[in-house]
Structure 1
Amino acid sequence: MIKKYFYIIFLFSLTACIDPYSVEVEEGAQLLTVDGMITNGPGPHAIRLTRSDTYGSVFEGLVRPVASATVIVRDDQGVVTFFSEDPEDRGVYYSSEDFSAKIGRSYSLQIQLQDGKVYSSLPERVESAPELKNLITKVLKIAVEGEENVRSGVQLIAEVDDPSDQNNFYFWKNSESTYVLKTRPDLYTPRPSDTNTSREPQPKDCCIVCFRTELLGVGGIYIENDDNFNGLNTQVPVAFIEDDGLRFVDTYRTDVKQLSISQDAYRYLRLVKQQVEVSGSVFDPPPANIRGNMLSLDDPEEVVLGFFIAAGETSKRIYIDGEELDFRQPVTIIPDDCREVEGANIDPPADWNP
């Protein structure tokens, strides 16, 4: 009998009402984020202004541009250069095409928002960049857990003659890339519509070959300092271009910029790189907002994200012949006119010279 009463009490406790515990999370600040660089290379140069979002916000992960700001770059001799906002890409501000930084000068970025708040970077000095002597290609295969097929791509390795008379901090980036795009317009089949329900192939007469231009990232953050190779010739991985079954069917062209950055910029990018490349284990450092060189002139305690970089630049162009690679992905078939692909054009660039 005692056991029966015990079961009744136990069941009653399971079905009893539980008051919800309300947790109020303090709303985080929407932090100004600055992403900008000027070099001694040709313009235009770009500054991007955005706002970060509170963790858990419905806007989290979206780019929230900061529009209608006044953006200028001032050098150590007082020369001011205005950056104009792109009318179609809000929050991105460009210099004129004839503006470029000068070696040995220091530059500061200054921003005034619509609400009157003013921000400035610490000065960044432009140092000359050592010559990027050569680019070497190497095919990399990347095993994917649970997948039979491997990912692959081309790693670019820079050969650099590092000068012995200065401490150098390197940062490598890609410019626009162009490749020969081949499609199959003979396999074109229109999608069903209200006026056309046919699923029969309707081959197009043109076009099979186009030249497609894309702005492709280097596949990571590639930085290095010369502590271990000061004054020596060295080879450093500087980019990875993934093979998507289209890029290396024929010829691929890209320009790699070698930038000489400040020690502060190098430290900032190294911290960003560490957070981007964490493996996801319990031993990884927790994600954090990494403060750069931007300051609020109205409130010194305000956190501003991002970094304004002023750098010396050299670049190297490379043409990659897909047929010379020792491994390529299966060809991706696009059953349409190649001109229908975004960024593709039937005419080659004026300076196309494999």
Structure 2
Amino acid sequence: MMKQLLLFWMIAGAVSACIDRVSLPIRNEAPRLVVDGLITNEKPPYSVRLSYSGSFTFDQDTPQDQKITNATVTLKDDAGHSTPLVHSMFNQGYYQTTDSSFVGQPGRSYTLTVRLADGKTYVSAPEKMPAVPPIDSVYAKFTATESVTLPYQYYIYLDATDPAAQANYYRWTAFTYTARRSTGIPCCLGCPGKCYDRCWLKYFSQDITILSDNGVNGNRLRQRQVMRSPIYTPGPTLIEVQQFSMTPAAYQFWKLFKEQQSRTGTIFDPLPASVIGNIANASDSKDQALGYFGASAVARKRFRERGDETYGTAIYGYISSVLVPEGDCRQTYGYATPVVEPPGWL
């Protein structure tokens, strides 16, 4: 028995002696200014978010942002007009315009200036707001998925016509309102009817959806998928799609950002580089901020999907059989959640 134990420890020691310690790559970066802002042709206010990027190491999931609350922020156009942005009391790190007469216009160029508390001043490259064509139609397709928890979804699409006169770059976002159920509560003492058993929750598109019209210039844009929306209960879904114009520089920024988000690999692959935007230190062009300040015209279109397919026998049976929370739906989904169908959709 002693010989066997001795042999085991000799083998274990030999194996451990052959193992080299591997030092994984670790990147520690100094905090950098991060700017996220956009001016549109819609009514103000316009918002800019300012923060510092945190240091990145392999024991962190994501860098920790540090919100900037004491900067001086100014927005100006190429006609000599300017307006300050004031820090929001309710959203740390967010700055908003307060001048209702300062409205973005297609064809005008806009520049953002950020002066930090340490005296550094960062200025964006001028962004000329391109015009945007209208959205022709928005529609939804009821789709069975392979998800066990969410077997049915609406895939949201749009059709639009691309102008042939110039190069165009697009970004699309969308949101939906869909109902979530609960058992509800009696509408009054002794009443058999139930109230507050349906809350309308807002869901936003998560994917970066962009397009250059290179190769499709002047053609009709058909079935551009912009969102997948969950279905939790039979009934209608309310949809809004936004179509943004972009400059070529903004398109390249979003393209690189999308590629970096979808990148996969191993821990031994090169670490992804930061996506540099269009903002730099006015005194040192090598000191570049992260993020982007853009100028986009916006077209919006709404559509009310009646949800006829959610009342199909098998589908209705499945959706209706899903367990729902007890009591007032607002206790689960928030007391600010609408309990009647939001207005504004035909």
TM-score range, shorter chain: 0.7 to 0.9
Instruction: Answer whether contact 2:245 2:298 (CA < 8 A) is retained.
Output: yes
The 3-state SS of whatever aligns with 2:195 is coil
Match of 1:78 among 77, 80, 87: 80
Instruction: Answer whether contact 2:47 2:94 (CA < 8 A) is retained.
Output: yes
Amino acid in structure 2 at the alignment position of 1:74: K
For 1:94, the equivalent position in structure 2 comes to 96
Deviations 1:67-109 (A, max 9, x none): 1211111101121122222212100112237343111100011
For 2:138, the equivalent position in structure 1 comes to 135
Residue 294 of structure 1: how far off its partner (Å):
0.9
For 1:344, the equivalent position in structure 2 comes to 337
For 2:195, the equivalent position in structure 1 comes to 206
The 3-state SS of whatever aligns with 1:227 is coil
Tell me: CA distance 1:84–1:8, structure 2 relative to 1, closer, same or farther (3 Å): closer
CA distance in 1, matches of 2:207, 2:126: 26
Residue 27 of structure 1: how far off its partner (Å):
3.8
Tell me: CA distance 1:309–1:110, structure 2 relative to 1, closer, same or farther (3 Å): same
Deviations 1:130-179 (A, max 9, x none): 111101212344435xxx5665422221111111111110111225x434
Tell me: CA distance 1:323–1:91, structure 2 relative to 1, closer, same or farther (3 Å): same
Deviations 1:258-315 (A, max 9, x none): 1110011001101111122235479998522111111111332223111111011111
Amino acid in structure 2 at the alignment position of 1:119: Y
Tell me: CA distance 1:283–1:204, structure 2 relative to 1, closer, same or farther (3 Å): farther
CA distance in 2, matches of 1:29, 1:250: 51
Tell me: CA distance 1:272–1:43, structure 2 relative to 1, closer, same or farther (3 Å): same
2:30 matched to 1:37?
no
CA distance in 1, matches of 2:163, 2:260: 30
The 3-state SS of whatever aligns with 2:164 is coil
CA distance in 1, matches of 2:269, 2:304: 38
2:125 matched to 1:122?
yes
The 3-state SS of whatever aligns with 1:28 is coil
For 1:227, the equivalent position in structure 2 comes to 214
Match of 1:289 among 267, 271, 274: 274
For 1:169, the equivalent position in structure 2 comes to 169
Where in structure 2 are there 5+ consecutive unaligned residues?
Answer: 187-191
CA distance in 2, matches of 1:205, 1:324: 25
CA distance in 1, matches of 2:98, 2:131: 22
The 3-state SS of whatever aligns with 2:237 is strand
CA distance in 2, matches of 1:100, 1:244: 38
Match of 2:111 among 96, 108, 111: 108
Q: Which moved more, 1:277-286 or 1:104-113?
A: 277-286
CA distance in 1, matches of 2:26, 2:303: 52
Amino acid in structure 2 at the alignment position of 1:185: G
What is the TM-score normalised by the length of structure 1?
0.78
The 3-state SS of whatever aligns with 1:115 is coil
Instruction: Answer whether contact 1:253 1:318 (CA < 8 A) is retained.
Output: yes
For 1:198, the equivalent position in structure 2 comes to none
CA distance in 2, matches of 1:110, 1:45: 14
The 3-state SS of whatever aligns with 1:304 is strand
C-alpha RMSD over aligned residues:
3.7
Tell me: CA distance 1:23–1:232, structure 2 relative to 1, closer, same or farther (3 Å): closer
For 1:200, the equivalent position in structure 2 comes to none
CA distance in 2, matches of 1:272, 1:230: 24
Amino acid in structure 1 at the alignment position of 2:329: C
For 1:155, the equivalent position in structure 2 comes to 155
Aligned residues: 326
What is the TM-score normalised by the length of structure 2?
0.80
Amino acid in structure 2 at the alignment position of 1:164: A
